[in-house]
Structure 1
Amino acid sequence: MSHEQPSSHGTPLLQVNHLSKHFLIGKSLLKRNRAQLNAVNDVSFTLQKGKTLGIVGESGCGKSTLGRCLLRLVEPSSGEVLIDGKDLTAMSAKTLTAMRKDIQIIFQDPYASLSPRMTIHDILREPLDTHHIGTVQEREEKIAQIMQEVGLRPQILTRYPHEFSGGQRQRIGIARALVLEPKLIIADEPVSALDVSVQAQVLNLISDLKNKRALSFVFIAHDLAVVQHICDEVAVMYLGHIVEQANSDELYRNPKHPYTQSLLSAIPVPNPHQPSQAIILTGDVPSPINPPSGCAFRTRCRFAQPICAQSLPQLTSKTETPDTHKIACHLVE
């Protein structure tokens, strides 16, 4: 599957500048006596209209926290999140509420993300009522249209979430995100809780909706095989940092960071006669409360050198890589 190079012209739809999120943990009333968990560290990227950026990495690397910071469901500790040039982190609560219709989220768990006390009709109607969109008749027509777009019959609108399968619930979650016609959707591991047989159907639906509506996505996942077929660009996270970012085709064809190489090598090959090429990482993921000095990946990296412990590598384009292929590694030159 071919991916177009993201356009470098014009103002990006989403621009993230030096975004960080730190949590204080412990019960002391004094901040200096509490430990700090560094979930997201100095993350920056841009996303053009109509494109999809994949955020990948192991569990606990900060992907979901990053996604929630983009929406201010979790308040960032520092940094900027600009939608069409407007900084969400500087907005008042009232202004932010008005902006919510432009940026929506599809949650990971289709069982927990839908209220069991509301019918499907009420779940889809609520955002339209909140933002006072259209007349009563127009709202009903929009709900029926969205249901058809996600492959569900309008006749089921009077039912409750517990009457549906996981795949159907996630389609309802997608419909809820789409009903406000947003510019950007944050998809937080939208297929990881679904059966494998259903995952492909939901991914195809997301891909079709993206093309039909010219939607932009930030697609969070830990399955690199999924990301390859739906994303134009991919950013790899490790312990709160982006360690590599590139066009999807370029990243999968020519991974540079040792962590990315390890992740890609672990993708199963559908050939029982082909020996595994998996690069096994030694040791555990370091604690985000007490991360290693310098490069966070150095404690598990087979190429680690003394310089890796001395300074944090910056995410920049290296020698012999395209300008859009960025790597945070001292040894990739």
Structure 2
Amino acid sequence: MSDILLEVKGLKKHFYAGKSLFKRARSVCKAVDNVSFKIHQGKTLGLVGESGCGKSTLGRCILRLIEPSAGEITISGQDITRMDARTLKAMRKEMQMIFQDPFASLSPRMTIHDILREPLDIHNIGTIAQREEKIAEVMHTVGLRPQALNRYPHEFSGGQRQRVGIARALVLEPKLIIADEPVSALDVSVQAQVLNLIAELQESRGISFLFIAHDLAVVQHTCDEVGVMYLGKIVERAPAEVLYRQPKHPYTQALLSAIPVPDPTHNTEHVPLIGDIPSPLNPPSGCAFHPRCQYATERCSREAPTLTQTQDEHWIACHLHPAS
């Protein structure tokens, strides 16, 4: 039996801008453009890239919080892209999300107890006593005291609210969790606590994670595999230790060289990242990264590279590294 929990094939999400007074055709924003990958049971894939590259849209498409334009999403061997609403509701127990902003994702009118009990009520899981027992269990798992159950989200710190968000995702015992920038709004010390908690959950419960972040330093010690995303496409994907040791795509090299190093005597070659990420409504021709790449050639401006396997489990979309 395959241990692949999540498989994404050719996933696309296109948004259409409204018609203007002088233009009849609608502009197309390819937020996610033909993305494919797999996550094995109990493993974590980190998805990194600058803001606006389509990471969060991809995560929401996988859970069908927004509908994909094309492609196939298979979870536990079931294609959820073709599920009707009733079947998908039952499937949602298997897949949950931790949102970037813990305060915005929690209802200010509900106590923590009600927030954690709501998923159990919706899916009619267990008796009343069993639901209360489950709530107490997840509170203990995320390091919050039972006395906090009668409080409201605004009474907590940012790190505590994110723990509540994690508890809400855990209460249904999912197999897959999409963590969308779960530590970006937190202090560095609190970030470490939340990252350690996620690592513990992966090890103790065998939960698979898609960990979305814009900072490669955040996912370095949390993820088994890392995918680098640029303008709706994955441009490099490899096991974490391989990608950090031998990054091949110029974009990945630039992101890694931008990670702050606490040792002032440490000499790391800086790879420049020129300009800003282009508008997805008007992407460059050929390789979307070529206007910012110091190694770009004439071929890069006219021909888009495909994501190909160069060696072992290392995939890259760059003309500098043809398939082996």
TM-score range for the pair, normalised by the shorter chain length: over 0.9
8 Å CA contact 2:98, 2:182 repeated in 1? yes
| Gapped regions of structure 1 (runs ≥ 5) | 1-8
The Cα offsets for residues 138-188 of structure 1, whole Å up to 9 and x where unpaired, read as: 000000011000000111101110100000000000000000000000000
Deviations 1:265-311 (CA, angstroms, capped at 9, x unpaired): 11111112335532121122111001111111111111111111222
Q: What's the CA shift string for 1:70-92, capped at 9, x where partnerless?
A: 01111111001110121111111
Q: Deviations over 1:206-265 (max 9, x none)?
A: 111111101100000011111110000000000101000000000000101111111111
State the partner residue of 1:43: 35
- Give me the whole-angstrom Cα distance separating, in 2, the residues matched to 1:246 and 1:184: 20
Measure how far apart 1:64 and its partner are: 0.4
Q: Does 1:309 align with 2:301?
A: yes
State the number of aligned residues. 321
> 250, 253, 268: which one pairs with 2:260?
268
Name the structure 2 match of 1:278.
270
C-alpha spacing 1:32/1:52, structure 2 compared with 1 (3 Å): farther
| Inter-partner Cα distance in structure 2 for 1:32 and 1:196 | 49
Determine whether 1:328 maps to 2:320: no
Aligned residue in 1 for 2:141: 149
In 1: Cα distance, 2:96 partner to 2:188 partner? 25
Give RMSD over aligned pairs: 1.5
SS of alignment partner, residue 13 of structure 1: strand
Corresponding residue to 1:219 among 211, 233, 240: 211
Q: TM-score, normalised by structure 2?
A: 0.96
C-alpha separation in 1, matches of 2:3 and 2:167: 28
Greater CA drift, 205-214 or 307-316: 307-316
Whole-angstrom distance in 1 between the partners of 2:61 and 2:20: 25
User: How far has the Cα of 1:12 moved from its partner?
Assistant: 1.1
Candidates 95, 106, 121, aligned match of 1:114: 106
Are the aligned partners of 1:266 and 1:277 in contact in 2 as well (CA < 8 Å)?
no
Q: Who is 1:13 aligned against?
A: 5
The aligned runs of 1:44-193 (5 Å cut-off) are 44-193=36-185
Q: Quote how far apart the aligned CAs of 1:27 are.
A: 5.1
Q: Show the counterpart of 1:25.
A: 17
Q: CA separation in 2, counterparts of 1:298 and 1:230?
A: 30
Q: Distance in 2 between matches of 1:294 and 1:197?
A: 42
Conserved 8 A contact 2:100-2:180: yes
Show structure 1 runs of 4+ deviating over 6 A.
Answer: none
Query: What is the DSSP-based 3-state SS (H/G/I as helix, E as strand, rest coil) of the residue aligned with 1:270?
Result: coil
Q: Distance in 2 between matches of 1:315 and 1:274?
A: 33
The code of the aligned residue for 2:8 comes to V
- Given that residues 22 and 36 in structure 1 are in contact (C-alpha distance below 8 angstroms), is that contact kept between their aligned partners in structure 2? yes
Measure, in 2, the Cα distance between the counterparts of 1:50 and 1:276: 34
Residue identity in the other structure for 2:315: K
Compute the displacement of 1:10 (Å). 1.7
Partner amino acid, structure 2, of 1:286: P
Distance 1:22 1:37 in 2: 6
1:32 Cα deviation from its structure 2 partner: 5.7
The alignment's TM-score, normalised by the length of structure 1, stands at: 0.94
More divergent stretch after superposition (146-155 vs 280-289) = 280-289
**Deviation of the 1:317 alpha carbon:** 1.1
Deviates more, 1:275-284 or 1:17-26: 275-284
Residue aligned with 1:82, SS: strand
The code of the aligned residue for 1:190 comes to: P
Q: Which stretches in structure 2 are left out of the alignment for 5+ residues?
A: none
Q: Answer yes or no: is 1:288 the counterpart of 2:280.
A: yes
Q: Is the 8 A contact 1:11 1:85 kept in 2?
A: no
